[in-house]
Amino acid sequence: MRIIRACREQGLGTVAVYSEADREAPHVLMADEAYAIGPAPAAESYLRIDRLVDTARAAGADAVHPGYGFLAENAHFAEACQAAGLTFVGPPPAAIRAMGDKTSARRLAGELGVPMVPGTLEPVRSDAEALAVARQIGWPVMLKAALGGGGKGMRLVQRETELADALRLARTEAQGAFGDAAVYLERYLTEARHIEVQVLADAHGTVIHLGERECSIQRRHQKLIEESPSPFVDAELRARMGEAACRVTRAAGYQNAGTIEFLVDADRTFYFLEMNTRLQVEHPVTEMVTGIDLVREQLRIAAGEPLGYTQADVSWRGAAIECRINAEDPFAGWLPSPGTITGLRAPAGPWVRDDSGVYEGFTVPRYYDTLMSKLIVWGLDRPAAIARMARALAEYKVAGVRTTIPVLEQIIAHADFRAGRLSTAFLERVLPSLHPAEGRHRSVAIIAAVLSEYERLGRATLPESTTPNGATPLWRLGARAGWRGA
């Protein structure tokens, strides 16, 4: 839907593809045309390069936008599109490949003198080599799959005695998940921030950055909240990280939109981690503070148009925050909660953007990612954006499936979040102190109060809207908290 919107504004027609589970998905209803590509399991539909390319050709499409999941970082897919005469709206296959191998990305950063987390520049060849490197760089260390990324295939090793087992498991996992057992090793930074820089590169040699996104709040390497700018990054650090990000982008022969991930220490030292060769889920926070439509830029770059502006033309205004609304139950081990959405009221109002993929009556399929919507707000400064996010989350009502909304509300209200005291350790530290079930207990109390009021009055009419002492009765608070009004 995000891509369809950008296409419409550019005067481009759109073709959606869908699996059997997504027959009634909103992007299918929204596109000019839509084609079924197979059964629900992604391996038989969204990951079928042959079917995607055949469908694009049959529909008469000129270009293919890979989105931000499934095949978005697959060099074979990019090549297959090009071989079929379709413009791939993304980087050249060679750049995807160079950055997809995380050790090759580290070698490039190393050649350019871009600082990176201490570790190996090649996959480790033996237990003995891994041990020698770990002893040299210090514990804890992290094993990462060379073809992994985004936290997939990572394994933390605290001490020497755990290394051999961890290596074996990491290799087996990497082989299973990525078809390649290669694993490299990095020093594990325990309290750093995860900050990424958005870059744009056109086909005419212009490479610019659009500033950073703070993405430290992740659970099992799924981001929950992202923001721009990072409360930790000042103009000087932004310029230094931006310059490093552009240097890597240019050297990789990169074109289109991309993201360079860094870890940033308390002393403002930054370390290159990896590059994501796609548009990212959290791209809206960058759009909100720069005013630049990233999908429009992707389409223009893919069409060979020059960016038409320089680094000096980019400016940042205010603060933006994104919360990911997932169909998961944070009180039940974050279990996926697919099912039919029986009630839905999305927040609205000034500077509130709800990039949603669901509607009332839609059934969230159990086959894919649990992401239902991304709620993005903008404010003149970070406190204003936080207040707006708290307001918007309180307006958000979803019935039928469990969502992450209550836990997001509590994180947004947390003193450390408000103070910008963030690190990759933040969520693990604060989760035990959160009590998101309170919202649910409160709802039960409100419903009980409404029922007892009806019983007391002995009739099926609404009770008075104020109590004798003038206070607002609990049932009316309930109505206000609900989505149908009193």
> Residue numbers of the site for ligand MV4 (CB under 6 A)?
117, 142, 150-151, 186-189, 194, 216, 218, 221, 261, 263, 273-274, 424
Q: Which is nearer to ligand MV4, 261 or 409 (CB)?
A: 261
Give me the least distance between CB of 152 and ligand MV4, in Å please. 8
Instruction: Give the number of other Cβ atoms within 10 Å of residue 51's Cβ.
Output: 17
* CA nearest to 244, candidates 257, 261, 230: 261
Are 184 and 102 within 8 A, CB to CB? yes
Angle at 401 between CA 332 and CA 335, to 5 degrees: 30
Tokens 């289109």 correspond to what residue? 256
- Rounded to the nearest 5°, which phi and psi values hold at 94? -65, -35
Amino acid at 153: G
Give me the least distance between CB of 280 and ligand MV4, in Å please. 11
Report how far apart, in Å, the C-alpha atoms of 231 and of each of 58, 226, 354 are. Answer: 48, 11, 23
* CA nearest to 214, candidates 320, 368, 60: 320
Amino acid at 421: R
Give me the least distance between CB of 291 and ligand MV4, in Å please. 27
Give me the least distance between CB of 282 and ligand MV4, in Å please. 12
Q: Please say if 278 is a catalytic residue.
A: yes
Q: Which is nearer to ligand MV4, 111 or 428 (CB)?
A: 428
Give me the least distance between CB of 239 and ligand MV4, in Å please. 23
Amino acid at 191: E
Tokens of 307: 């960016």
* CA nearest to 146, candidates 274, 279, 276, 253: 274
Give me the least distance between CB of 108 and ligand MV4, in Å please. 17
Beta strand pairing call for 193-201 and 207-219: antiparallel
Say if residue 44 is exposed, middle or buried (CB neighbours under 10 Å; 0-12, 13-18, 19+): middle
Q: What is the largest CA-CA distance in the chain?
A: 80
**140-179 b/e with 16+ CB inside 10 Å = b?**
ebbbbbbbbbeeebbbebeeeeebeebbeebbebbeeebe
Residues written for the chain: 486
Q: Which is nearer to ligand MV4, 116 or 301 (CB)?
A: 116
d(CA 112, CA 401): 48
Q: Which is nearer to ligand MV4, 91 or 365 (CB)?
A: 91
User: Which one of 97, 193, 278, 324 is the catalytic residue?
Assistant: 278
Q: Which is nearer to ligand MV4, 89 or 189 (CB)?
A: 189
Q: How far apart are the first and last CA of the chain?
A: 34
d(CA 153, CA 275): 16
Give me the least distance between CB of 150 and ligand MV4, in Å please. 5
Give me the least distance between CB of 132 and ligand MV4, in Å please. 18
Tokens 């000019």 correspond to what residue? 32
Angle at 239 between CA 236 and CA 240, to 5 degrees: 90
Tokens of 441: 């207990």
The continuous run of DSSP H or E covering 278 comes out as none
Give me the least distance between CB of 374 and ligand MV4, in Å please. 18
Q: Which is nearer to ligand MV4, 135 or 204 (CB)?
A: 135
Question: Which positions are annotated as active-site residues?
Answer: 278
